Amino acid sequence: MVFDREPGEQLPFHDREVDPAHAGAAEPSRDARIRHLQRVPLFSGFEESDLRRVSDLARIVELPAGSVVTHIGEPGDSFFVLIDGTVTVRTPVGAGSQLHPGDFFGEMSLLDGEPRSATIVAATDLRLLIVDRAHFWRLMDETPDLIRSILTILSRRVRSLEQTVHAMVHGTNPV
Ligand code: CMP
């Protein structure tokens, strides 16, 4: 069973991606949003003006443990940065790696327009920064450091995946 639930049990956000109208907490003030962003390593080199730009193009949402944030095979329209909490990633080959504060996800569907490549479930209560498709490319254009970070992490994920596939095919650990 992929999800941490009984068959047929409906998790919050089961039918849709995260929608702030259904999330637990009110949107924090701009100052509070920037204080959250200052804690995220992904934005560590950012000037205050860059953080303000991120804050203006994104929103912050809190979700309870068990929420399904992305569904494999479904269309995806948001990019997520994990501010607080842990999520579990289920891919067709990976059995449940975890992402932690400062990690991001959801970039692949925005980059290539394909459906979600993984199901991501909140292992704990979460605080997420969410950037919608409409703002994603503007954010990329305006913050080249973010592009570099995303490319670096994507490269690591490809390497990790190649090692996993190698181990599956050969039944050994790759060198
Ligand atoms: P996307 O395909 O848009 O939605 C699911 C997300 O899971 C995907 O973007 C990546 O951000 C993330 N993801 C996919 N594969 C992995 C992986 N092997 N390790 C960590 N995160 C992943």
CB distance 76 to ligand 1 below 6 Å: yes
- What is the pLDDT at residue 16? 53
Residue 122 CA, ligand 1 centroid: distance in Å: 14
Name the residue of 97, 105, 151, 165 whose CB sits within 8 Å of the most ligand 1 atoms, as the mutation to test its pocket.
Answer: 105
How is residue 92 annotated by DSSP? S
Beta-carbon contacts of residue 15 (< 8 Å; ≥ 6 apart): none
- What is the pLDDT at residue 30? 84
Which string of DSSP letters, residue by residue, matches 24-73?
Answer: SSPPPPHHHHHHHHHT-GGGTT--HHHHHHHHHH-EEEEE-TT-EEE-TT
Residue 90, class by beta-carbon neighbours within 10 Å (0-12 exposed, 13-18 middle, 19+ buried)? Answer: middle
Residue 157 CA, ligand 1 centroid: distance in Å: 8
Specify the DSSP element, H or E, that contains 172.
none
- What is the pLDDT at residue 88? 97
Residue nearest to atom 7 of ligand 1 (CA): 118
The mean pLDDT of 129-136, rounded to a whole number, is 95
Does the pLDDT of residue 21 top 50, yes or no? no
117: three-class secondary structure by DSSP: coil
Does the pLDDT of residue 164 top 60, yes or no? yes
Q: How many contiguous H segments (helices) and E segments (strands) does the chain have?
A: 5, 8
Residue nearest to atom 12 of ligand 1 (CA): 105
Does the pLDDT of residue 45 top 80, yes or no? yes
Residue in the block written with tokens 């970070």: 149
Residue 66 CA, ligand 1 centroid: distance in Å: 18
How is residue 75 annotated by DSSP? -
Mean pLDDT of all residues in the chain?
84
Residue in the block written with tokens 């570099």: 148
Label residue 11 by pLDDT band (50, 70, 90).
very low
Specify the range with the lowest mean pLDDT, choosing from 4-8, 89-93, 141-145, 165-169: 4-8
- What is the pLDDT at residue 111? 94
Name the residue of 42, 104, 157, 161 whose CB sits within 8 Å of the most ligand 1 atoms, as the mutation to test its pocket.
Answer: 157
Name the residue of 42, 71, 98, 117 whose CB sits within 8 Å of the most ligand 1 atoms, as the mutation to test its pocket.
Answer: 117
Does the pLDDT of residue 8 top 50, yes or no? no
Handedness of CA 3, 10, 117, 23 (dihedral sign): negative
Residue 152 CA, ligand 1 centroid: distance in Å: 14
